[in-house]
Amino acid sequence: MKLYGALIAVAAISLAAGLAGSVGALQPLLGIGVPYCALAILLVGLSWRVIRWSRSPVPFRIPTVCGQQISLPWIKSSRLESPHSTLGVIGRMGLEVLLFRSLFRNTRSRIDQGPRLIYGEAKWLWLGAMAFHWSLLVVVLRHLRFVVEPVPAVALWLDGLDGFFHVGVPVLYVTDIVLIAALLYLLVRRLREPQVRFISLFTDYFALFLLLGIALSGIWMRYFARVDAVAVKQLALSLTVFSPSLPKNLSAWFFVHLGLVCTLAAYLPFSKLMHMGGIFLSPTRNLANNNRMKRHVNPWNYPVKVHTYEEWEDEFREKIEAAGLPVEKH
């Protein structure tokens, strides 16, 4: 149900956008109104999430570590596994964000005959996640050619690199194939592994189908429907300078693509896809583990009436001495 529900939802959005896009009177709504609304929801939503996270109190240092903390000079500490400086935190965060380091160490467990608990490596998920995120980044950066004039050097460079094999006209992008393959792998893994399937929600499938829909409609436009890229750029540039004008010859396929992209933008702040920003605000990742170098006092501490040892000794001195027990003060 969750799987089909998500598939039907994405198909319905595509169909609605495609149909509305083929009706001339509705094109301004779809080409101008919807993108601005989606962008506003994205910006307000992102700010709201980040402000809410940054306001959560973090009274303690709670970094997740898997290495020796810095302490005595003769004990070797681990700068990356248990970073004690900002530089170490940046290094670890950089490797996490760029190379998904913790996912690389992911393990799987199964019960074998015996019964015996077996732990094994699980590198496929890491590979699939890396392939998906990196190709998505390249695709999005390449899209800068539609919204920035003159086209930034990075977009041109990625364009050349991505079309390196010079296969077909228009040139086939490697990232298009990798993106689709990675998304299909992530979907099939969710369906084939019983435990993962059991915990999968509607939103897990919805995010995957939405991304697949965006990628497939983009690929369809580039290699088969051959949309007018000049018209698309005209619209995109007019939107970026807040002087929207809708060119005549925009195809319905473009509106399908744009409709799905706007859905993703508006949905992103309220979805699990916010892990994109969350990682940077995660106290288990962004705090240095300097608990033995520095005394961290809980800012919420309030004055508590305590009974010190000295006071206790003064109170019972006679009895302690009578019992022949040692005292600190004579």
Q: Verify binding: residue 219, ligand HEM, rule CB under 6 A.
A: yes
Interface residue with ligand HEM, options 34, 131, 155, 227 (CB under 6 A):
227
Where b means 16+ CB within 10 Å and e means fewer, 44-67 reads ebbeebbeeeeeeeeeeeebebee
* Dihedral of alpha carbons 284, 287, 292, 298, sign: negative
Chain position whose Cβ is nearest to ligand HEM: 218
| Minimum distance of ligand HEM from residue 304's CB (angstroms) | 53
Q: How far apart are CA 295 and CA 329, in angstroms?
A: 29
Please choose, out of 17-25, 38-46, 136-144, 148-156, the segment that lies near ligand HEM by the rule CB under 6 A. Answer: 136-144
Q: Verify binding: residue 206, ligand HEM, rule CB under 6 A.
A: no
CB within 8 Å of 9: residues ≥ 6 apart: 206, 209
Among positions 168-197, residues that touch ligand HEM (CB under 6 A) are 173, 176, 179
| Minimum distance of ligand HEM from residue 145's CB (angstroms) | 9
Helical packing angle, 123-142 and 174-192, nearest 10°: 140
Helical packing angle, 252-267 and 202-219, nearest 10°: 150
Closer CB to ligand HEM, 158 or 287, in the complex: 158
Please choose, out of 105-113, 149-157, 187-195, 255-263, the segment that lies near ligand HEM by the rule CB under 6 A. Answer: 255-263
Q: How far apart are CA 135 and CA 180, in angstroms?
A: 9
Interface residue with ligand HEM, options 2, 143, 189, 197 (CB under 6 A):
143
A 10 A CB-CB count for 186 gives 19
Q: Verify binding: residue 133, ligand HEM, rule CB under 6 A.
A: no
Q: Verify binding: residue 257, ligand HEM, rule CB under 6 A.
A: yes
CB 196 within 8 Å of CB 185:
no
Closer CB to ligand HEM, 69 or 135, in the complex: 135
In Å, how far are 5, 13, 201, 258 from 20, measured between CA atoms? 22, 10, 30, 12
Note the residues at the interface with ligand HEM (CB under 6 A).
136, 139-140, 142-143, 146, 173, 176, 179, 214-215, 218-219, 221-222, 227, 229, 232, 236, 254, 257-258, 261, 264
